[in-house]
Amino acid sequence: MKINIPESDKKRVVIVGGGFGGFKLAQMLARSKVFQIVLIDKNNYHQFQPLFYQVAMGGLEPSSIVFPLRKAFQKRRDVYIRVTEVSSVDTVNRHLVTPLGICNYDILVLALGANTNFYGNEKLAELSIPMKSVSEALFLRNKILSDYEKALSTTDYDKRQGLMDIVIVGGGPTGVEVAGALAEMKDFILPKDYPELNCEEIDIYLIQSAEQLLKGMSEKASLRALEFLTELGVKVKLNTRVADFDGEYVHMNDGTAIRSRKVIWAAGITANQIKGIPAEAITFGNRLKVNRINQVEGLGEVFAIGDMAYMEEEAYPKGHPQVAQVAMQQGKHLAENLLRLQKGQPTLPFHYHDLGSMATIGRNRAVVDLPHWKFQGAFAWLVWLFVHLFQILGVKNKLFIFLNWVWNYATYDQSLRLIIRPRVPRTGEMEVEQ
């Protein structure tokens, strides 16, 4: 059975993944009106991952950081969206196998992104909380708030500490931003919501296996981030690795243990896999080897962009960083090269232009590394706000996020501290109970 997509005399480009890279590619190709485009994603929306942590902390509504794929392409007749997962790819017969049926392609672009890397530790994978989707961010919010509700009725000190203390693993931008947001919640939100609790008992730990935070950013940014977190009361443990987690205690490689029922895992990623890709095309972190036009090694009609793609260039001999900037630039560049190929013109090699890195550690605290300028503090925080607000899709989303930020800043409050539990009714389909 084939997926119901109209046949066309135009070449069909199938894009798997509606993240930063896949979405940018689809936008660029749709404007050209040269190809028939099929965009496949397991969700019917594009997610803005950098703000997942604000959803988890109750600062933003989930709907503010997602954008419906169909809305983005309403006026593009040659764009077809199918909400499903890809089971496998047949590169010989040029088709994808999905639960909806088979989808043929002339050109296939894999933009499946990456998932959380637990480095083979099954217990951590089962019990810790990742944050790679809106649903995971909501799960974390539910878990935090539910545990504080339980803590109100827990008289045993050690058990209460397990409910109240939080461990974050990974000192990259996600870990640092989550730690800062939790520290501010502890100082400004929880004392008002839970006056019966002694919020001074809450300990927030940030565990980093390397000798510094924000590895990849400047030394000054790393030191300032550590200073900001320390000011907020976060207990940062460098050169420490989490060895195990049993649901009650987090065990370190140095033999120490922390009692906590919540471990937020932000310690690494691995590229999502797809069956049917030859093993010789797969390299470090499950990434696919691609040439300078993002063509997968040994597969003429298959391309990969973003976190899935492993491309070496002179400035990046070990591949590009797995960040949104790379994905969007590769999506745009691949669109240009596909149009060149269609016209019989020579392709151009991809060059990554690093626009800089940044991380926020609470209000008026951020670090920014631009190519020719590095700064920290309140101005860096304003730059972080502006850049992220500019990248959000949709005028309504931009407005809602801006108003939320202004309200939160003026009142030291967040209005979205709701515990929303999924409910499975008799029909077997998932509903949401509010």
Question: Could you tell me the mean pLDDT of each successive run of 10 residues in the chain, 434 residues long?
Answer: 91 97 97 96 95 90 93 92 96 96 97 93 93 91 93 93 96 95 93 91 96 94 97 96 94 95 94 95 96 96 97 94 96 98 96 95 95 95 95 92 89 75 57 43
Task: Say which of 177, 219, 301, 429 is annotated catalytic.
Answer: 177
Give the burial class of 193: count Cβ atoms within 10 A of its Cβ; 0-12 exposed, 13-18 middle, 19 or more buried.
middle
Round to whole Å and give the CA distance between 271 and 285. 6
Looking at the structure, tell me whether residues 259 and 287 fall in a common domain.
no
Looking at the structure, tell me whether residues 134 and 262 fall in a common domain.
yes
Q: Does a structural domain hold residue 239?
A: yes
Final residue before a domain boundary, out of 267, 284, 318:
267
β-bridge partners, 398: none
Looking at residue 238, its pLDDT comes to 96
Looking at residue 25, its pLDDT comes to 98
Q: Which domain does 248 fall in, by range? A: 122-267
Looking at the structure, tell me whether residues 127 and 204 fall in a common domain.
yes
Which pTM value belongs to this model? 0.92
Give the burial class of 416: count Cβ atoms within 10 A of its Cβ; 0-12 exposed, 13-18 middle, 19 or more buried.
middle
Q: Does a structural domain hold residue 159?
A: yes
Looking at the structure, tell me whether residues 260 and 128 fall in a common domain.
yes
* Known active-site residue 177: yes
Round to whole Å and give the CA distance between 153 and 33. 62
What's the CATH code of the domain at 337?
3.50.50.60
Round to whole Å and give the CA distance between 296 and 305. 10
Give the burial class of 411: count Cβ atoms within 10 A of its Cβ; 0-12 exposed, 13-18 middle, 19 or more buried.
exposed
Looking at residue 416, its pLDDT comes to 67
What is the layout of strands, in order, in the sheet containing 373-376? 357-360, 366-370, 373-376
Looking at the structure, tell me whether residues 263 and 134 fall in a common domain.
yes
Round to whole Å and give the CA distance between 50 and 60. 12
Looking at residue 39, its pLDDT comes to 98
Final residue before a domain boundary, out of 322, 343, 364:
343
Q: Does a structural domain hold residue 135?
A: yes
Q: How far is CA 233 from CA 185, 206, 267, in A?
A: 12, 11, 21
Q: Which long-range contacts (CB under 8 A, 24 or more apart) does 308-315 make?
A: 308/110, 308/111, 308/112, 308/113, 308/114, 308/271, 308/272, 310/283, 310/284, 310/285, 311/350, 313/349, 313/350, 313/351, 313/352, 315/352
Instruction: Report the Cα 32 to chain-centroid distance in Å.
Output: 29
What's the CATH code of the domain at 242?
3.50.50.100
